[in-house]
Structure 1
Amino acid sequence: MPTADPVGTAGDPDTGRRVAAGGNGTGTGPTTGTGPTTGTGPTTGGDPGTGPTTGTDPGAGPGPAASTGTRSGEDRSETPGAETGRRWGWRRPALLDAYVIAGFVGLGMLVTARLWRHLDRMVLADNDQILFEWMLAHAARAVRHLENPLYTTQLNAPDGVNLMANTSVLGIGVPLAPVTWAFGPTVTLRLAIVLCLAGTAAAWYLLLSRRLVRSRVAAAVGGLFCGFAPGMISQATCHLHMISQFLVPAILAVVFHPGRDRTVRRGLLLGALVTYQIFLGEEVLVLAVLATGLFVVGYAVASPRRAREWVGPVSGRLAVGALSAAVVLAYPLWFQFFGPAHYRDMPFTPSSHNLDLASYTAMARQSLTGSDAVPGHLSPNLSEESSFFGLGLIVLAAVIAYWQWRRPLVRALTLVGVLFALLSLGTEIRYRRMDTGLPGPYRLVTELPMIDLVVPARFALICIPVLGILVALSLDGVYRRSQPAGRSATGRFPSGGPPVRLLWTGAIVAVLLPVAPTPIRTKPAWPVPDFVASGQWREYVPPGRTLVPVPPTKGSEATAGMYWSARTGVAFTAPGGYFIGPTGPDDPHARWGSPDRPTAVLLDRVAATGEVASVGPEQRAQAVEDLRHWRAAVVVQGGLTYGGPVKATVDQLLGPGRMIGGAWVWDVRPLVD
C-alpha cells in the first residue's frame, strides 16, 4: 500500500519539488536526504509506529519514498507525531491501538449479539450457516484424527466432497479447532464472524495509521468502515469466506513496502500471506489481485516517475512470493481442479448475480436507516448487498476525490472504485429494476479465466476499502495541525482550523451514521433430534453405513443431515449436503449438492408442497435401490414444515416408522442387506 504523505506540505510528485509548510507557496526546492522511509519507525517527535518519518513525498503512493531528510523551513516539533509523542509517551500509542482494536471487537460482538443470545437460532441465509458450521466441524475433526482436510466421505455418501473446491475456510477452522472441540461449531462460527469483521477493521486501521495517515482518529474511522460497511455485514450472513479479509491489508503492506532491501525475505512473507489467504477465501484474493493490478496501472499513469522507482523492488517481491506460494500450493490446487469430485464452471450463472445501479445510493436492510422494502429489488439476495452506501457517502467521496485529485494515490483509488462499481452491475446495467439499454463493462471480462467465476455483485466489496481510505485521507487532511488555517496541502480546501475540523467531522458522521450496522438478523431453526444429538443413532448405524435424513439429498430442507452432522462433530456419514460437486461420475459440470435420485426427488416434492405422494411397487423398489446406493442403515425424519405428509409418504415406502428420541426412525437394514 502506498506510503504516507508528509504533514503540512504540498508537492509535485513528478518533479520532487516541495513547498514549505509555513511558506507562501513560492519557495520551492528539492529536499535533502535520499534514504527511503520505512513506514513503521517513530516520527521525529517520538511517536513510535505512527507512520513514516517527516519528509516523505507528498502525494506519494506505492514504492519507496523520495526522502527522509528534513525540509528547509519545517519545524519538526509542529508535526502531529511530535505532539502525540509528548502527550502519550513512547508506549502509549500501542495502548491507543489496543483500545481501537478492542472497540472493533466490541462492535463485532454487538453486531452478532442476537446470534450469541440465541445459539439455537440461525441467520436468515440458513443454508450458508449450516455449510460453514459443518466446514468448521470437519476442520476440527481432521486435526484431531489427522484426516485429509481437502476431501471427505462423511458427506455426500458414497461419492464424497472435494472440500478444496468448496469454501472450506481451513484457515479459520484449523486454528480455531480447540474452540470447536470445547464448545462446538455453533460457537466457533459466531466467534469467527466477530474475528473476521473486527480483524478486517483492525488490519486496515494498522495499515492506514502506519502508511497513509498521521491521525489515529482518521485511521480508526477508515478501518471501522472497511470492517463494518453494509457490504461486510451483508456477507456476514453468512459468507465466512468473503468476510475473511484481514490478510488483504497485510499483503498490500508487503507488496508496496517502501524499502528496497530484503527482497527475498519480503517475497517469502508475501508468499506465506497469499498461501494463507487461499485457505481463507480464494475469491477475496482474486478480487484483491485484480484491484491491486488496476491500482498500479492507475498510479503509473498518474505519476510515471514514482512508478518507475518502485517497479524493481515490487517486481522482485512478487516474483519470490509467487514462486514460494506456487511450491506450497501446488498439491492443494491440483487437488482442487483435478482431484476426486472436482468440477468445472459453476452451478449457476455468475453474471446473473449483479447489482442494480440504484443500490449504490440506497440503504441496506441491516443498516441503521435501512428497510426491507428496497434492497431486495436491487441485489441478488440478502447476502449480496455489497454496495448500499447511501447517497451522502457517494457525494462525500466525490468531494474528497475532487479535493485531493492532485495526489496520484487518490486518482488511482478513484479509478479502482469506479471501475469495480461498474463491474458489479453485470452485463446489462439496470436502474431501479429497469433495463437502461446500456451494456455493463462486465461483459468485456466475463469469459476470462477466474473472473468468469466471480459473482459480479461482489466486485462492489472492493469499493469498501477505497471509500474507507478516502474518508481517512480527508479526515487526516483537516486534522493536520502543522497547517496554518487557510489552504490545505492540496491547495483546494481549507484545513487546520477548529471550525473546518468540526464541520468536516460532522459531515463524516452524518454520512456514516445512517449506514451503521444493526445486529445480524436471525430466525428459528428446528432442533437436532435427541435421537441424533444423544448418539442413540449409533445403535442402528454400523461402520461403513449411513444415516439418511428426510428429505435425503434434494430441496431446501435437505440440509438437515448436514446440520445434524455439524452439531455432532461430523460423527456420522450421510448422503447429500449443501456443496458444489460434479453432476455425475462422467460429467464434471458443476451442480448444487448430490446427483438426483428418484426417491430424493419424490420426498422433496412432498416436503415442498405438503401433498402426500402416490406410492406403488415401483416407487418402493426404487426406494430400496436408492437406499442401497446410499449404504443406508437408518432413515431419520426430524422437524419439517410439512412433517405429516412426508412421514405418511415414507411410511408407504418403507413401512411404519417409530418415534425415538424426538424423531421418526425407520431401520432399513432388513430391506437393504
Structure 2
Amino acid sequence: MFAHNDDPSLFIWWFAHAADVVASWFGQGSGKTKLLFTQLMNHPAGVNGAWNTSVVGIALPMVPITWLLGPVVAYNIAIMLAAPASALTAALLIRQFTTRGPAFLGGFAYGFSTYVVAQSAGHLNLAVAITPPLVVYGLIRLARARSRRRALAIGLGLGCLLGWQLYVSSELAAGLSIAGSVFCAVAAVVLAQRSDAVQRRAGLKRLLTGGAAAAATALLIGLPLFRTMLTAPGAPQQTIRPHGVWNNDVLDVVFPSRFTLLGGPDADPLPRVQAIDPAEVGAYLGFFWVVFAILTTVLLWRHRRLGPLVQITALTGLVMWMLSLGSPWFFAGREILAVGPYRLIEVLPVLGNVLPMRLAVYPTLAAAVLLAVGVHEAQRKRGRQSRLLALTQVTAAVIVIAISTGPVSARQVPIPEFYDSGYAEHLPAGSVVKTMPRPIALAAPDADVALVWQAVTGMHYRETGGYFIGSTDTSPIVFGAQRDTLDERLRAPIPSAPEERARAASETVAALRAQGIDFVVIGQDVAYLPFPADQIAAFVAEGAGSPVQNLDGVFLIDLRSG
C-alpha cells in the first residue's frame, strides 16, 4: 500500500466494513447492516463511525472493487486518484477566469501540492481535496445565476456536494465552513464597492436562495451522520486533540518538508511543541511561488476585470493562512504570539476539533489561482510585453520545479498466509478474536496491521482490538481499544516459576473468556509484540488448556474448550 504512517490500515478496514455492510443488505456478509456504527472492531463496545474517518462517501462507490480485488487494492486506487481528482477540480475552477494552459498549471499546483501529497501519505479523507475548489466554483456560478430558479438548482447541487463531504471528512467539512465564511465576508466587502444597490439586492436574493437550498440539502443528507454522532455510544466527550500542538509554523510556507523535492526523506523538520507526523506537514509553497503570488496581487489589485478576483483570492488566502498558524503562533519553533486569531475558533463547539494545520489547503488553493491568473495575464499581453511573458514562463517553470513533491512510499503489507484462506477453517464465522499485536494509535508502519488482517477476511470474525476515536465510562477520550487482562499481564515479564506462571495464565485466560473471546491469534515475525510470539502463545495455551496451533505465520489458541 502507498503509506508513510499506518493510518491507511484504518481506511482499509473501513473499506472492508462498507463492502461487508452492503453485502449484508443483500443477505450476504456478516449480517451487520449499519454503516456508521460497528461492533466488528473494539468488540463488544463497538466504534462510533460518525466520529471517525469511516470515509463512507468513498468506501461505498469503491464497494465493487473491494468485492472483486480486496480492500487493499481498493484503497490504493482511491489514494492514487486523490491528487489528479483534486487537480482537475481546481483546474475547473480556474478555467472560469483563464485559458486552458494557466488553468492546467494552477490545477497541477493545487492537486499535486505538498498539502495533498503529504496527506496522501496517510490520510485519504483529507487527501481527496476536491470539495474546496468545487464549492468556490458553485458559489461563482450562483453569483452569475440569472434567475432564482437557476440559483435554486445550483444550491441543490452544492448541498449534495457538501452532504457527500460530510461522509468523507467531517473535519474538512467543518474547515470548509470556516473558509466559506471568510470567503463570503471578503467577497461581500470587495464586491459591494463595484455594484449598485439594485445589483446587490438581486445578488443577495440569489445567494440566499441558493444558500438556503444548499444548507437544507446538506443537512438532510447528513441527518444519519448527525444522528449517529449524537445518539450512538462511543462519542468522544472532550476536544479530540489538544490545542496549540497541530499548528503550522510561520516558516512552513517556505521551508521544504519531507514530501518535497527540495526536502525529501532526510529533511530536518522544524522544531515543534511535540513530534508531528510528516503526513500532517503540508503548508509548503516555496519562496518563488509565494513571491509570484504577492507580485500578481500587487500588479493586478486594481485591474478592471481581474481586480475583484485577485483581491478576494489574496485576502481569503491570507486570512486562512493566518488561521492555519493556530494559537499561539510559532516562528522556527519559537512562540512569537501567545494568542492567535484561531483562538476564536478553538472555543467554538465542533469547530474547535479542526486541526489548524489542515487549513493549509485553502491558502494553497488561493496561491494556485493567483499563479494561474498571473501567467494568464502575462500571456494575454504577449504582443506588447514579450519579455514579461518569457520571464513569467520561466518563473512558472521554476515554481513547478520548486514545489514538486516527493513520492509517497509504497510498502508491502505483512499479511500471514493464514489470512489467505486458512482462517475460514479454523475460525468459525462471527467468532470473537483477540489478535496480537493489538492495534495502537501510533503513526508508524504496521502499528495497526491487525485491522488489515481482519479486513482481508471480509469481516469473517469480530475483533476485540481497534484504532479509533471514542470514549469509555472512565475516559472522556480514547484512541483505541483499552488494554484487556492479557495486555496488562504482558506489561511485566511472564513468571518463570511454574506454579506462579500457571496461576497467572489461568487467571488471565479466565478473564478473556469472561469477555467473550473465542480465540487468540498471535502473528509471528511481526513488530509491536511485548514478548516473542512463541512465548506469548505458550503462556496463553497453558492457561487455556489447549494446544498452540502453528498455522501459516500465526499462532492460534482456542479458548472455547474451557
2:43 counterpart of 1:157: yes
2:434 counterpart of 1:434: no
Contact 1:554 1:596 (8 Å CA) reproduced? no
Q: Summarize deviations over 1:6-46 as a string: whole Å, max 9, x none.
A: xxxxxxxxxxxxxxxxxxxxxxxxxxxxxxxxxxxxxxxxx
* Corresponding residue for residue 252 of structure 1: 136
2:311 counterpart of 1:417: no
Amino acid across the alignment from 2:484: R
2:352 counterpart of 1:456: no
* Corresponding residue for residue 166 of structure 1: 52
Residues 629 and 438 of structure 1: is their aligned pair in 2 closer, same or farther, counting only changes over 3 Å?
Answer: same
What secondary structure does 2:465 align onto? Answer: coil
Residues 189 and 553 of structure 1: is their aligned pair in 2 closer, same or farther, counting only changes over 3 Å?
Answer: closer
What secondary structure does 1:581 align onto? Answer: coil
Residues 229 and 267 of structure 1: is their aligned pair in 2 closer, same or farther, counting only changes over 3 Å?
Answer: same
* Corresponding residue for residue 533 of structure 1: 420
| 1:215-614 → structure 2 map (5 Å cutoff) | 215-257=99-141, 258-261=144-147, 262=149, 263-306=151-194, 308=200, 309-371=202-264, 372-375=266-269, 377=271, 380-406=276-302, 407-480=307-380, 485=384, 497-525=385-413, 527-534=414-421, 536-552=422-438, 554=440, 556=442, 559-582=448-471, 584=472, 586=473, 589-603=476-490, 605=491
Cα separation, 1, equivalents of 2:159 and 2:261: 40
Contact 2:84 2:111 (8 Å CA) reproduced? yes
Amino acid across the alignment from 1:667: D
Residues 558 and 474 of structure 1: is their aligned pair in 2 closer, same or farther, counting only changes over 3 Å?
Answer: closer
Residues 346 and 565 of structure 1: is their aligned pair in 2 closer, same or farther, counting only changes over 3 Å?
Answer: farther
Contact 1:553 1:596 (8 Å CA) reproduced? no
* Corresponding residue for residue 491 of structure 1: none
Contact 2:257 2:284 (8 Å CA) reproduced? yes
* Corresponding residue for residue 81 of structure 1: none
Q: What are the ranges of 5 or more consecutive residues in structure 2 without an aligned counterpart? A: 26-32
User: Comparing both chains, which one has the higher relative contact order based on Cα–Cα distances under 8 Å and sequence gaps of 6 or more?
Assistant: 2
Amino acid across the alignment from 2:241: F
Residues 425 and 642 of structure 1: is their aligned pair in 2 closer, same or farther, counting only changes over 3 Å?
Answer: closer
What secondary structure does 2:470 align onto? Answer: strand
Deviation at 1:249, TM superposition (A): 2.7
Contact 1:540 1:633 (8 Å CA) reproduced? no
2:9 counterpart of 1:134: no
Amino acid across the alignment from 2:516: R
Q: Summarize deviations over 1:161-213 as a string: whole Å, max 9, x none.
A: 1212211111111111111111111111111112221111111111211x222
* Corresponding residue for residue 624 of structure 1: 509
Amino acid across the alignment from 1:131: L
Cα separation, 2, equivalents of 1:657 and 1:436: 59
Q: Summarize deviations over 1:570-593 as a string: whole Å, max 9, x none.
A: 2221111111121x2x35722101
Deviation at 1:613, TM superposition (A): 6.4
Amino acid across the alignment from 1:124: H
Residues 256 and 634 of structure 1: is their aligned pair in 2 closer, same or farther, counting only changes over 3 Å?
Answer: same
Residues 437 and 284 of structure 1: is their aligned pair in 2 closer, same or farther, counting only changes over 3 Å?
Answer: closer
Q: What are the ranges of 5 or more consecutive residues in structure 1 without an aligned counterpart? A: 1-114, 116-121, 486-496
Q: Which moved more, 1:186-195 or 1:262-271?
A: 262-271
TM-score, scaled to structure 1: 0.74
* Corresponding residue for residue 102 of structure 1: none
Deviation at 1:524, TM superposition (A): 4.7
What secondary structure does 1:664 align onto? Answer: strand
Deviation at 1:618, TM superposition (A): 6.2
Cα separation, 2, equivalents of 1:228 and 1:463: 14
Contact 1:158 1:629 (8 Å CA) reproduced? no
Q: Which moved more, 1:636-645 or 1:162-171?
A: 636-645
Deviation at 1:498, TM superposition (A): 2.5
Deviation at 1:368, TM superposition (A): 1.4
Cα separation, 2, equivalents of 1:345 and 1:191: 35
Contact 1:479 1:501 (8 Å CA) reproduced? yes
Residues 247 and 434 of structure 1: is their aligned pair in 2 closer, same or farther, counting only changes over 3 Å?
Answer: closer
Residues 552 and 303 of structure 1: is their aligned pair in 2 closer, same or farther, counting only changes over 3 Å?
Answer: closer
Contact 2:521 2:554 (8 Å CA) reproduced? yes
Amino acid across the alignment from 1:446: E
Cα separation, 2, equivalents of 1:346 and 1:650: 39
| 1:34-73 → structure 2 map (5 Å cutoff) | none
Deviation at 1:544, TM superposition (A): 4.5
Cα separation, 2, equivalents of 1:183 and 1:466: 38
Deviation at 1:484, TM superposition (A): 5.7
TM-score, scaled to structure 2: 0.88
Deviation at 1:552, TM superposition (A): 3.7
Amino acid across the alignment from 2:535: A
Amino acid across the alignment from 2:48: N
**Cα-Cα RMSD:** 2.4
Deviation at 1:617, TM superposition (A): 5.9
Deviation at 1:646, TM superposition (A): 4.5
What secondary structure does 1:430 align onto? Answer: strand
Cα separation, 2, equivalents of 1:369 and 1:484: 35
2:520 counterpart of 1:635: yes
2:541 counterpart of 1:654: yes
Deviation at 1:561, TM superposition (A): 2.6
Deviation at 1:282, TM superposition (A): 1.5
Deviation at 1:327, TM superposition (A): 2.5
Cα separation, 2, equivalents of 1:613 and 1:462: 56
Deviation at 1:425, TM superposition (A): 2.0
Residues 640 and 188 of structure 1: is their aligned pair in 2 closer, same or farther, counting only changes over 3 Å?
Answer: same
Deviation at 1:386, TM superposition (A): 1.7
Q: Summarize deviations over 1:296-352 as a string: whole Å, max 9, x none.
A: 211222231457252221111011121222223223211122213333334431431
Percent identity, aligned pairs only, is 27
Aligned length: 527
